[in-house]
């Protein structure tokens, strides 16, 4: 079965090819069928792989990609617990979102284009997690970046959407340069880019060249910052919400943005031996988590709130990686994929019902009209807020418990993030679904629950968000930890595994839950009891609030520090240096030669007397030079 793993990415690629080439001629039903069917096929194979894995690592060779000098790159796949878990997430959630999209995108002119891109995305994402070397990961890495670009700018007539797409691609490229340099250093150090060679060499040489490990880890992390939207490369993700909502759910919440976590988890043997870099990962992670959470407190666009919450949750996952809880981070990737995909799809359902409205100030009271969306959104909100027994509780708790072991301050900040998360998520929930309707008459008239193709995926994801925590119940029977054990085998040598004391952990949990409940109560009293609606006009905000509302002016800062100077300097360089400097020197040579030519030409004036005169003078000069 495992030898058939190459079929997993091939199916979506096939779907992309068919829809891409013939999409115009196919009916929407057929396109939806091909698009979703190929991903379902990939999911079923992934399931079979999952069950026949037996905690081993397999390599499936597809073909020889290229070889030059000492570098030999195979196009082959690594199938181990880590990649097979990601396969299930990508194809499983991917399938649900494809089904959802058949309903959500039904009336869009670009229906076939949408499914072609989506299938292409699944292909590249699968390549990213299945590749057996860093270079193949990079192939998937850049490929998903391309799909993200295409899908953010899906409605390409809109200039601001196009700008958002471009920004995402370029910012990701900044990170990719880090990834690229990290790979080069890996190659120079270990002589290969294959995981098996690199990791065993890294394992054996861990003590000797710490510095190199640190640099590799930091360079790779720059790549992760770009793809997973961490400080300072995060500003593209909120803008990426320009894409259709299923895209936000699949790419910008559940799968692509977690690629950075996958990369670091995959490279755990390097990070375990790079203490400074790990510390940096943890600090950047918690800082991003806090930063994004504060912005999330004041956003009024339903998708923007979710986007900042994604950035914030990704930050928590990096915190987990930084403090050595690789399993915890991957666990949170999994549960987050469930509930965040769910929340985005619910948001899509709401936007669908509201005829495109995304501003929560103009919603309210939707629970009557959208019962399924309301219920599933509530479950997702409970899961992300970290309340037991919902899935987010377990995964977040695991990260926080490890953070506590590592450094109490990190833990406290983590609790703060959880509280803010609970607050802004319930703020979002209350403002959207409770109270009275604040939209227009016409919107009110059109309010309706979404079709089955959209609500069934919601129900499945909601069920997963509720029970997903069962993958990793703390204590002896932590299934996920046992399952992932082989993938982190090299890492184990270097960690003195601390199983946090159970009673201790219970107290920590209690504090976290109490914090979240308090935050929810505050949200309830502001937005339900006192019926507060966020102010419309920026001028009415408090000064600090305005800074946060404007995302701390980070975009403006980048504009002023990078984009504008680059453009202005290039422009000045072009006008003055290129046209008047370099070229003028070249032309100067030309003019000089011409001028000399026209000067010398005058000497040949045809006057014999002048020639004889010149000859005599020359002879005298030569004689003088020779005799003196």
Pick 116 or 293: Cβ nearer other proteins:
116
- 374 in Cβ contact with 367 (< 8 Å): yes
| Residue 23 interacting with other proteins (CB under 8 A) | no
Of residues 582, 596, 621, 622, which one binds other proteins by CB under 8 A?
582
The site string for other proteins over 150-179 (x = CB under 8 A, - otherwise) reads ---x--xxxx--xx--x--xx--xx-xx--
Helix axes 111-130, 134-152, angle to 10 degrees: 160
Alpha-carbon span 30 to 66, nearest angstrom: 37
H runs (alpha helix) in 495-573: 502-524, 543-549, 554-558, 564-572
CA distance 532 to 518: 18
CA dist., res. 150 & res. 153, Å (int):
5
Q: Is 597 in the site for other proteins (CB under 8 A)?
A: no
Q: Are 337 and 254 in contact (CB under 8 A)?
A: yes
Distance CA 525, CA 517 (A): 12
Only one residue has tokens 């959407």, namely 161
180 lies in the binding site for other proteins (CB under 8 A): yes
Nearest to 516 by CA among 386, 383, 378: 386
User: Pick from 71, 409, 542, 623: which binds other proteins (CB under 8 A)?
Assistant: 71
Size of the site for other proteins (CB under 8 A): 49
The answer to whether residue 68 forms part of the interface with other proteins (CB under 8 A) is yes
From 410, 378, 351, 398, select the one nearest 509 (Cα to Cα): 398
Residue 255 burial (CB count, 10 A):
28
User: Which residue is it, tokens 């199916």?
Assistant: 11
Q: At closest approach, how far in Å is the CB of 567 from other proteins?
A: 7
CB of 116 to other proteins, least distance (A): 10
Among 61, 355, 570, 591, binds other proteins (CB under 8 A): 570
To other proteins, the closest distance from the beta carbon of 163 in angstroms equals: 8
> Cβ closer to other proteins: 138 or 291?
138
Is residue 181 near other proteins by the rule CB under 8 A? Answer: yes
State which residue, 498 or 569, has the beta carbon closest to other proteins.
569
The yes or no reply on residue 203 touching other proteins (CB under 8 A) is no
**Residue with smaller CB distance to other proteins, 149 or 344:** 149
Q: How far is the CB of 78 from other proteins (least distance, A)?
A: 18
CB of 198 to other proteins, least distance (A): 15
User: Of the candidates 3, 29, 64, 560, which one interacts with other proteins according to CB under 8 A?
Assistant: 64
If residue 132 lies in a helix (H) or strand (E), which one and from where to where? none
Asked if 295 is part of the footprint of other proteins (rule: CB under 8 A), the reply reads no
Residue of the chain from 187, 494, 524, 558 that contacts other proteins (CB under 8 A): 187
Q: Does 22 bind other proteins (CB under 8 A)?
A: no
The answer to whether 569 contacts other proteins (rule: CB under 8 A) is yes
Bridge partners of 77, per DSSP, are 60, 131
Q: By CB under 8 A, what part of segment 120-139 binds other proteins? A: 135, 138-139
- Least separation in angstroms between residue 46's CB and other proteins is 22
Please report which helix (H) or strand (E) contains residue 469, including its range.
none
Nearest to residue 325, comparing CAs of 397, 224, 398?
398
Residue 64 backbone dihedrals phi, psi, to 5 degrees: -75, 120
Closer CB to other proteins, 138 or 424, in the complex: 138
Q: How far is CA 366 from CA 19, 338, 385, 449, 536, in A?
A: 37, 23, 21, 10, 20
Which residues of this protein are in contact with other proteins, per CB under 8 A? 64-71, 135, 138-139, 142-143, 146, 149, 153, 156-159, 162-163, 166, 169-170, 173-174, 176-177, 180-181, 184-185, 187-188, 566-567, 569-571, 573-574, 578, 582-583, 585-587, 590
């Amino acid at each position: 079965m495992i030898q058939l793993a190459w079929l997993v990415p091939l199916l979506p690629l096939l779907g992309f090819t068919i829809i891409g080439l013939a999409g115009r001629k196919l009916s929407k039903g057929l396109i939806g069928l091909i698009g979703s069917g190929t991903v379902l096929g990939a999911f079923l194979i992934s399931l079979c792989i999952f069950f026949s894995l037996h905690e081993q690592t397999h390599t499936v060779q597809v073909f020889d990609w290229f070889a030059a000098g000492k570098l030999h790159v195979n196009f082959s796949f690594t199938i181990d617990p880590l990649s097979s878990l990601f396969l299930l997430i990508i194809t499983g959630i991917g399938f649900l979102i494809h089904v959802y999209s058949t309903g959500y995108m039904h009336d869009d002119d670009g229906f076939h284009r949408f499914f072609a891109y989506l299938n292409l995305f699944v292909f590249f994402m699968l390549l990213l997690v299945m590749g057996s070397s860093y270079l193949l990961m990079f192939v998937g890495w850049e490929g998903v970046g391309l799909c993200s670009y295409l899908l953010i700018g899906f409605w390409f007539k809109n200039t601001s959407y196009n700008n958002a797409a471009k920004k995402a691609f370029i910012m990701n490229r900044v990170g990719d340069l880090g990834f690229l340099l990290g790979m080069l250093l890996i190659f120079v150090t270990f002589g290969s880019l294959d995981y098996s060679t690199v990791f065993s060499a890294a394992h054996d040489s861990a003590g000797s060249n710490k510095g190199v490990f640190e640099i590799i880890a930091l360079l790779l992390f720059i790549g992760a910052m770009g793809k997973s939207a961490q400080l300072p490369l995060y500003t593209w993700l909120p803008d990426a919400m320009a894409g259709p909502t299923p895209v936000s759910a699949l790419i910008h919440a559940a799968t692509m943005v977690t690629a950075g976590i996958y990369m670091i988890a995959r490279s755990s043997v390097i990070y375990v031996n790079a203490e400074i870099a790990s510390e940096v990962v943890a600090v950047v992670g918690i800082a991003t988590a806090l930063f994004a959470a504060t912005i999330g407190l004041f956003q009024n666009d339903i998708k923007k709130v979710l986007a900042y919450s994604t950035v914030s949750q990704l930050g928590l996952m990096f915190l987990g990686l930084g403090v050595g809880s690789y399993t915890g981070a991957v666990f949170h990737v999994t549960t987050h994929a469930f509930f965040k995909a769910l929340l985005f799809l619910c948001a899509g359902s709401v936007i669908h019902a509201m005829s495109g409205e995304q501003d929560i100030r103009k919603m309210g009271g939707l629970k009557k009209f959208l019962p399924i969306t309301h219920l599933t959104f509530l479950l997702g909100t409970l899961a992300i807020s970290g309340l037991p027994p919902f899935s987010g509780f377990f995964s977040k708790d695991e990260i926080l418990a490890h953070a506590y072991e590592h450094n109490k301050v990190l833990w406290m900040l983590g609790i703060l993030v959880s509280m803010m998360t609970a607050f802004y998520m319930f703020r979002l929930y209350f403002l959207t679904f409770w109270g009275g309707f604040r939209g227009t008459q016409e919107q009110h008239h059109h309010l309706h629950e979404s079709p089955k193709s959209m609500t069934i995926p919601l129900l499945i994801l909601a069920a997963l968000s509720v029970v997903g925590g069962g993958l990793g119940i703390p204590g002896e029977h932590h299934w996920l930890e046992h399952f992932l054990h082989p993938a982190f085998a090299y890492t184990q040598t270097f960690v003195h595994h601390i199983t946090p004391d159970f009673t201790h952990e219970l107290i920590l949990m209690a504090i976290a839950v109490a914090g979240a409940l308090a935050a929810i109560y505050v949200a309830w009293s502001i937005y339900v009891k006192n019926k507060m609606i966020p102010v419309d006009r920026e001028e009415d905000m408090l000064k600090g609030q305005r800074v946060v509302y404007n995302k701390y002016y980070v975009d403006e800062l980048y504009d002023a520090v990078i984009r504008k100077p680059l453009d202005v300097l290039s422009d000045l360089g072009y006008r003055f240096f290129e046209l008047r400097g370099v070229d003028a020197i070249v032309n100067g040579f030309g003019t000089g030669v011409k001028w000399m030519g026209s000067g010398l030409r005058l000497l040949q004036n045809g006057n014999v007397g002048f020639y004889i005169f010149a000859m005599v003078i020359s002879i005298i000069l030569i004689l003088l030079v020779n005799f003196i």
